[in-house]
Structure 1
Amino acid sequence: MTDLIPAVHQPVAETWPTLVAPRSNPVRRAGALAAIRFIGKDLPATITMDNRTYGRGGTGDPAMRVHRSGPFLDRLSQDAGSGFGEAYLAGDWDPAPGTDLGDLLLPFAQRFSDEEKRQLLPKWAQSLRWLVTRSQPGEQENDRAGSRQNISRHYDLSNAMFSEFLDPTLTYSAAYFGERATADLATASYDELTAAQLAKLDAILDAAGVRSGSRVLDIGCGWASLAIRAAQRGAWVTAITIASQQALLAQRRIADSGVSDRVQVALRDYRDQIGEFDAVLSVEMIEAVGEKYWPVYFDAIERRLAPGGVAVVQAIVMPHERMLATRNTFTWVQKYIFPGGLIPSVKVIKDVTTEHTGLQAQVLRHLGPDYARTLRIWRNRFVDQWPNIAALGFDETFKRMWEFYLAYSEAGFRSGYLDDVQLLLTKR
């Protein structure tokens, strides 16, 4: 029986208690199998389980193999938001030999981006989703204390680990490849990443009009690549973050770049910043703010703008209807990667800025394909550098978690389910 075949990977229960196989429920297991059969009717991929295949994938289409069907179905039936990803972390399934994980996840993401096929389940099954859909836990609240804890869990994970797969600028957001964004991902190369990241940083600074003498606030500064680039133009920069280890490395990188006299790094919540600035910049931070605090976030940006000043926000976004449908669910990404996170829509950003501030938001650039390429490069690099990352104390389950996260995100951008936009905010 397939259930008796050892998994390719088995997580350490003491280290990963959330991955312990759930108690089997024959009724729910049957429901999960029925869902797979339904999905497989028009899924251009192949799922092999218990010597049977599901899906309409043909030769050359992505394929996956389920090593342990029982735990796999139990996880799917217990938690609709996390079960599929948890089954991968636990080693219950793998891409078939020759299938890239991102290519495999793409058909699933395309169902969400396709208006007619957006719902994975038939209507009768959708009415029962509440049985297996969980809400975001209260401890992930993004007040000041909660935000600090949520951000630290990801960005203070290990500076050394991030350094292994990011490019030398340590820029942890979508790069800007221009025409190469839509080139075959099989050609994506680590060698092209730094130039694309610098192009992205320059595009933000150009949009904000940053020049010599400009006063710049960088909210959620990461490892200071944008702050350094702005200072190299002659700007005066205040860079803030609430990730303590990240701040320490940011300060060291600023010193190594010779711009310590122009950049101040502060361990500070965006709600506590004071002063006026000609440009306020914030790159892919809004996803960690939380819906309850979006009005507070944009109000803080407006309050920091000097007369005539502008803000540029780069944000991961999703279709508005999907945001509304999923905003109260507890997803795999929230559970394992970004606690407290929620991806907004362009519409909600415009609505919030209109209703709660005197700002107006204008989309300058879409970077969805660029992000897919960025993520493929990061994932390839992560795998290539895994021996160095493992030497830092991370185990094989962590490797699978990050491979799934990067591939899952790549599939979202490739399908159009996710996008990444640069927005210009000006005072009305």
Structure 2
Amino acid sequence: MSTPELELPTQRVSVDPHRWPDVAQVPAGPRARVAAVVADRLFRRAAARLGVRVEYPDGTVLGVGPPDRILPRMIIRRPTDFARRLGTGGLIGFGESYMAGDWTASDPVAVLTPFAAEMGSLIPRPLQRLRRFVVAPQPAEERNTEQNTRSNISRHYDLSNALFNTFLDRSMTYSSALFDELPAHWDALATAQERKIDRLLDAANVGPGTRLLEIGTGWGELCVRAAQRGAIVRSVTLSEEQRTLARDRVAAAGLSDRVQIALLDYRAVDGEYDAIVSVEMIEAVGYDYWPTYFRTLDRLLRPGGLVALQAITMPHDRMTETRDTYTWIHKYVFPGGMLPSTESIDVTTRALTSLRTVDRLQFGEHYAETLRLWRERFVAHADQVAEIGFDATFRRMWEFYLAYSEAGFRSGYLDVQQIVFRKENQR
């Protein structure tokens, strides 16, 4: 279901320059003008072959399809601003131009999916060799050291529990659901989240008396379901907002004697556990710290124990090419994050730990549906989001984030997996 197109005026949309300085200010100067010319040519070249109808204010239309096919519409409202942001900031500028209203679409996912599918070839191969000279690296202050990680996590997960409540289902689960059938409906989402959690707990053999460690608490649904099975649960998070609500939910379920939730970095966890479950937390670890993460799992797990990991993955070649790149997602949504590839997980665990893969389920199309449901609900509750205190620029940013992510899964560029490891011999 597409959302009604936001008809934007050609004049600049009001953007708070203190809250959104790089969105409020269009790049200027000779370098920005030259970069805009190059970016405009590259964009028009790419758009013409991607199956997207790009419309300009002067009547120019790119990507005219066959008569029997309706192409998704990308409407460029301010071509000069769009080109300058794109030329100066690359994909960061592309996202910022959406936030500023330089371009819009009635169905942003349909527009973004062809771009995601061709992510590796949007820029001609000869120019890709210049990548390291023009693309900014991730800031040192956002590397996931023990000193920085809490701030990185807080910038996303501590925005407001009320914000997440506007688009998540009653389980407050912020990761891919596992549906019984596709396409999915909103009424099926909570049950699909429970199915996902139960599959992880089953895979880790969690039952009465199991000493379970959860790395990344979320808002407590997995804690509750594990404790209801009779497990003794220790869960760690770096989000104060999540810990507060998760503790309240555990107490309301009468399970406080079985669940401990701590504000603690995964590297500082001690003890020994029969099972470890971690749902979409590895994405926040950072490339440089994947060895530490998996060594920590290995250290904490008893011999013969099981780890059930849910992880978003990306193609290995793209991961290696972009692992040092500062992206729009880093800047506005997940500072310090990095998606692993299947190969990077396999190589790291085999080389550095006693963890060996015993099961794997891939279900990326389910994440696309999960994100669609979240996005539709978020857009439908835009007035409520505004009442909480989030301005129009934030709302466009969040819609773009959800659409951008959904497009990644729709195109097959991204996948999500449940991977189960068994700890074999002590190293």
TM-score range, shorter chain: over 0.9
Amino acid at match of 2:109: G
State the Cα deviation string for residues 374-419 of structure 1 (Å, max 9, x = none): 0000001111122111111100011001100000000000111000
Give TM-score, length-normalised by structure 1: 0.93
SS at match of 2:235: strand
Which one of 333, 355, 358 corresponds to residue 359 of structure 1?
355
**Residue aligning to 1:333:** 329
**Residue aligning to 2:153:** 151
Matched, 1:14 2:18: yes
SS at match of 2:212: strand
SS at match of 1:254: helix
**CA distance in 2: counterparts of 1:46 and 1:305, whole angstroms:** 53
**Residue aligning to 1:189:** 185
Distance apart, 1:178 and its partner CA:
3.5
Q: Is the 8 A contact 1:36 1:54 kept in 2?
A: no
Q: Is the 8 A contact 2:302 2:423 kept in 1?
A: no
Amino acid at match of 2:28: R
Which one of 390, 407, 410 corresponds to residue 411 of structure 1?
407
**Residue aligning to 2:36:** 29
| Number of residue equivalences | 411
Matched, 1:167 2:169: yes
Distance apart, 1:363 and its partner CA:
4.5
Where do residues 124-143 of structure 1 align in structure 2 (5 Å cutoff)? 124-143=126-145
Which one of 48, 71, 75 corresponds to residue 61 of structure 1?
71
Amino acid at match of 2:63: G
**CA distance in 1: counterparts of 2:17 and 2:303, whole angstroms:** 56
Distance apart, 1:305 and its partner CA:
0.9
Q: Is the 8 A contact 1:77 1:132 kept in 2?
A: no
**Residue aligning to 1:91:** 101
SS at match of 1:171: coil
**Residue aligning to 1:420:** 416
**Residue aligning to 1:78:** 88
Q: Is the 8 A contact 2:52 2:72 kept in 1?
A: yes
> Comparing 367-376 with 126-135, which one deviates more in the overlay?
126-135
**Residue aligning to 2:48:** 41
Amino acid at match of 1:415: S
SS at match of 1:87: helix
State the Cα deviation string for residues 1-21 of structure 1 (Å, max 9, x = none): xxx9314x3322222112111
**Residue aligning to 1:115:** none
**Residue aligning to 2:307:** 311
State the Cα deviation string for residues 204-223 of structure 1 (Å, max 9, x = none): 00101111111100001111
**CA distance in 2: counterparts of 1:121 and 1:328, whole angstroms:** 18
Q: Is the 8 A contact 2:273 2:300 kept in 1?
A: yes
Amino acid at match of 1:78: T
Matched, 1:100 2:145: no
**CA distance in 2: counterparts of 1:57 and 1:277, whole angstroms:** 57
Fraction of identical pairs, as percent: 47
SS at match of 1:82: helix
SS at match of 1:44: coil
* C-alpha spacing 1:191/1:179, structure 2 compared with 1 (3 Å): closer
Amino acid at match of 1:26: R
**CA distance in 2: counterparts of 1:260 and 1:33, whole angstroms:** 58
State the Cα deviation string for residues 30-68 of structure 1 (Å, max 9, x = none): 101110222033110111123212224455210111111
Give TM-score, length-normalised by structure 2: 0.93
**CA distance in 2: counterparts of 1:37 and 1:125, whole angstroms:** 16
Q: Is the 8 A contact 2:276 2:308 kept in 1?
A: yes
**Residue aligning to 2:6:** none
Matched, 1:323 2:328: no
Matched, 1:300 2:296: yes
> Comparing 48-57 with 10-19, which one deviates more in the overlay?
48-57
**CA distance in 2: counterparts of 1:416 and 1:401, whole angstroms:** 23
Which one of 228, 232, 241 corresponds to residue 224 of structure 2?
228
Q: Is the 8 A contact 2:27 2:84 kept in 1?
A: yes
Q: Is the 8 A contact 1:72 1:92 kept in 2?
A: yes
Q: Is the 8 A contact 2:73 2:107 kept in 1?
A: no
State the Cα deviation string for residues 182-227 of structure 1 (Å, max 9, x = none): x2xxxx4321110100000000001011111111000011111111
Unaligned runs of 5+ in 2: 1-8
**CA distance in 2: counterparts of 1:178 and 1:135, whole angstroms:** 41
**Residue aligning to 2:3:** none
SS at match of 2:270: coil
In angstroms, what is the RMSD of aligned CA positions?
1.6
